[in-house]
């Protein structure tokens, strides 16, 4: 019953030109649909076609742009100025005159005499004798002995393991922050200062107001010492006047990102092994021997000898002589004169210098790029199948109303999947 309902449904779709599509794999011929019409039977073949499709994506690109700003700096310039210095100089003027001077000169006169300076010399005469000395000498004697030595050796063993290593990467992030900047300056401000207070005699009336008690008392009129105040003074001072301006300043912060990676770590361990070996050892032994030696002894004897000697002695005698000589005497007078000396002075001036500075600014923008992907779609082909002709005298065909045969759809281009299901190669058999 279900097969008849499905058969009549396919016929109805073929008569009214309805295309039945389905996701049928062309590799399995058992899934081929069959549409039966009045006098023609069609076979539906499904094939998958891959088409390249261009897609547009966007990626973030960070660019550095430079903004030109004018910066004013102040530079110190030194200028040379010529000035004059006046000063007074006291100069000494010499005046020379001749004077006589008498003086006495003591001249030494030398005379030679001979004196007896004989002296005694003590000379040491050596005498040598010998004596015997007995002493013990320690002598080393080596004996050979065998002993066992236990050695422990450490053999290195290397093992490699994977270990996770976490490191931090700083990525710059630029934000714009509003800040308030003071662009104020100094302006002239006039201040009033009261005059100086002084005391002088002034005429006052009989009534007198006492500021301490706030009462009025009576006194005799006359001149009294009264505090007076002078005229006020006006001073112009420089006062700083603020001017707050809000501006946007880029602030670059470093955003920390943590990454984890596997790192091979080689670890060396030591395995201990004990080895026993025998070796010969030289053991020292001390033996004492008696030795006799002869020591030479030297003694000294004193011998006194007289040495004859005469020494010449020079005797000096002072003889006085009077001399007269002329001496030039110089007297200095002080003369005052005024001099003018030019000199150079370096004066510092602060000169404003304006220059253009390129300030780097980081700008992020999205740039489109095109990439190609493959998209699959299913194509349904309707292929006519040869069928047996039903006789006109069949009661089923006479009672069936005449139906106009629909025009078949134009064939589509075949791909690799269509050649596998070519009707010329394989035509399914339709059972009545």
For residues 83 and 343, is the Cβ–Cβ distance under 8 A?
yes
- Tell me the chain's radius of gyration from C-alpha atoms: 68
Extract the tokens encoding 338: 């005024």
Q: How far apart are CA 25 and CA 48, in angstroms?
A: 8
CB burial string 164-200: b at 16+ within 10 A, e below: eeeeeeeeeeeeeeeeeeeeeeeeeeeeeeeeeeeee
Q: How far apart are CA 218 and CA 207, in angstroms?
A: 5
Give the pLDDT score at 8. Answer: 57
Q: Residue 260: which H helix or E strand, with range?
A: strand 244-307
The burial class, CB within 10 Å (0-12 / 13-18 / 19+), for 420 is middle
Give the pLDDT score at 30. Answer: 41
Give the pLDDT score at 393. Answer: 36
| Non-local CB neighbours of 196 within 8 Å, separated by 6+ positions | 229, 230
DSSP codes joined into one string, 47-99: EEEEEEEEEEEEEEEEEEEEEEEEEEEEEEEEEEEEEEEEEEEEEEEEEEEEE
Q: Which of 258, 257, 203, 206 is nearest to 225 (CA)?
A: 203
Q: Which of 235, 228, 181 is nearest to 201 (CA)?
A: 228
Q: Which of 104, 100, 95, 97 is nearest to 326 (CA)?
A: 100
CB count in 10 Å sphere of residue 44: 19
Under DSSP, the state recorded for 388 is P
DSSP codes joined into one string, 325-391: EEEEEEEEEEEEEEEEEEEEEEEEEEEEEEEEEEEEEEEEEEEEEEEEEEEEEEEEEEEEE--PPPP
Counting as low any pLDDT under 70, the low residues of the chain are 1-39, 208-211, 214, 386-432
The pTM of the whole model exceeds 0.95: no
Give the pLDDT score at 386. Answer: 67
Give the pLDDT score at 9. Answer: 57
Q: How far apart are CA 344 and CA 69, in angstroms?
A: 40
Per-domain residue ranges for the chain?
A: 2-56+372-420, 59-93+342-368, 168-254
Q: How far apart are CA 186 and CA 179, in angstroms?
A: 22
Strand partners for 65: 361
């Amino acid at each position: 019953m279900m097969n008849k309902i499905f058969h009549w449904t396919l016929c109805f779709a073929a008569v009214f030109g309805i295309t039945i599509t389905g996701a049928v794999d062309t590799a399995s011929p058992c899934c081929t649909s069959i549409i039966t019409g009045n006098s023609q039977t069609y076979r539906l073949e499904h094939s998958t076609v891959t088409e390249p499709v261009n897609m547009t994506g966007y990626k973030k690109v960070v660019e550095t742009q430079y903004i030109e700003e004018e910066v004013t700096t102040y530079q110190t310039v030194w200028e040379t100025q010529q000035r004059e210095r006046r000063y007074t100089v006291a100069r000494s003027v010499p005046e020379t005159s001749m004077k006589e001077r008498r003086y006495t000169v003591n001249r030494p006169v030398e005379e030679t005499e001979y004196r007896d300076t004989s002296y005694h010399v003590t000379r040491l005469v050596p005498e040598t004798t010998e004596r015997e000395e007995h002493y013990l000498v320690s002598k080393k004697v080596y004996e050979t002995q065998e002993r066992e030595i236990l050695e422990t050796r450490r053999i290195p063993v290397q093992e490699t393991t994977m270990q996770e290593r976490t490191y931090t990467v700083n990525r710059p992030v630029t934000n714009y922050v509003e800040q308030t900047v003071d662009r104020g300056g100094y302006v002239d401000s006039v201040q009033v200062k009261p005059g100086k207070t002084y005391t002088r005699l002034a005429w006052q009336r009989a009534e007198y107001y006492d500021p301490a008690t706030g009462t009025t008392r009576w006194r005799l009129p006359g001149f009294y010492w009264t505090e007076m105040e002078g005229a006020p003074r006006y001073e112009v001072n420089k006062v700083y006047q603020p001017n707050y301006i809000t501006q946007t300043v880029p602030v670059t912060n470093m955003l920390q990102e943590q990454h984890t990676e596997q790192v091979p770590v080689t670890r060396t361990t030591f395995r201990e092994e004990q080895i026993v070996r025998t070796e010969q050892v030289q053991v020292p032994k001390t033996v004492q021997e008696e030795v006799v030696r002869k020591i030479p002894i030297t003694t000294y004897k004193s011998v006194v000898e007289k040495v004859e000697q005469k020494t010449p002695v020079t005797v000096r005698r002072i003889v006085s002589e009077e001399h007269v000589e002329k001496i030039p005497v110089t007297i200095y007078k002080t003369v005052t004169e005024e001099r003018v000396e030019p000199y150079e002075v370096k004066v510092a001036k602060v000169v404003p210098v304006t220059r253009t500075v390129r300030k780097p600014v980081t700008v992020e923008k999205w740039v489109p790029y095109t990439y190609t992907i493959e998209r699959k779609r299913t194509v349904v082909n309707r292929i006519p199948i040869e069928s047996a002709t039903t006789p006109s005298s069949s009661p089923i065909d006479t009672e069936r109303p005449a139906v106009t045969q629909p025009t078949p759809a134009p064939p589509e281009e075949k791909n690799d999947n269509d050649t596998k299901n070519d009707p010329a190669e394989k035509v399914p058999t339709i059972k009545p």
